[in-house]
Amino acid sequence: MTLPEAGPLGVFGGTFDPIHYGHLRLAETAREALGLTRVRLIPAGQPPHRATPGAAGAHRLAMARLAAASNPAFEVDPAEVEAAQASYTILSLERLRAELGPRRPLVLLLGVDAFLGLPTWRRWTELFDFAHLAVANRPGYSLGGAAMPAALAEQVSRRQATPDTLGAAPAGRLVQFAMTPLAISATDIRARCAAGQSLRYLLPPPVVDYISRHQLYL
């Protein structure tokens, strides 16, 4: 007996330095708006496009697990943190495709800023071979009003689809979804830590406790 294929899996990578309610709200909004069965959070080990994270990979992985623990639709993937090489999205998608098989729909979740920078990513056009891409728009800032490189605009024009089509193919489509942004940033959280200010209501309480216990970002 052949078991049916599972539904679309959201893939949400990031430095998560630290993970906060803005990250979690984006993941939950995407899950609902796009009909995802689960969302896999992937903390970056050595992000190639950013400065060295403020907390070691093991700490960021632990905080992601604490943040995701209360949502049964969230799971945390340790592979990038545990890898010895830089964290490139295309490598993670190749790994997930090998793990989950050729037919499971994968949906890579991105903010508008990250999507517009896609041409600087390694093997960026190949991302569509392994996953759908879903872009989170926020009020006043969406792909519709954004200037973008010609190569990226061509991909948008060719691949745009609606969320209800994501389950019909394993990869290759581009969708957009709306979210209300939370005015929370990891940069601000790290600055508050350094200044000895409260982090309450910016991150899940277990993450706040973890940061305090391990004296991170001081």
DSSP readout, 145-167?
Answer: G----HHHHHHHHHHB--GGGGG
Confidence category of residue 1, pLDDT binned at 50, 70, 90: very low
Confidence category of residue 5, pLDDT binned at 50, 70, 90: low
pTM: 0.94
How far apart, in whole angstroms, are the C-alpha atoms of residue 60 and residue 16?
6
% of the chain surpassing 70 pLDDT: 96
What's the pLDDT at 4? Answer: 44
pLDDT tens profile 167-205 = 999 999 999 999 888 889 999 999 999 999 999 999 999
Whether the predicted pLDDT of 25 surpasses 90: yes
Confidence category of residue 3, pLDDT binned at 50, 70, 90: very low
Angle at 149 between CA 144 and CA 153, to 5 degrees: 50
Question: Judging by beta carbons within 10 Å of its beta carbon (0-12, 13-18, 19+), is residue 79 exposed, middle or buried?
Answer: middle
CB within 8 Å of 22: residues ≥ 6 apart: 181, 182, 184, 185
What's the pLDDT at 42? Answer: 97
Class of the CATH-defined domain 9-185: alpha beta
Scored b (16 or more CB within 10 A) or e, 198-217 reads: ebeebbbeebbebbeeeebb
Question: Domain residues of the chain, as ranges?
Answer: 9-185
Mean pLDDT of 109-118: 93
What's the pLDDT at 2? Answer: 39
How far apart, in whole angstroms, are the C-alpha atoms of residue 211 and residue 218?
10
What's the pLDDT at 33? Answer: 97
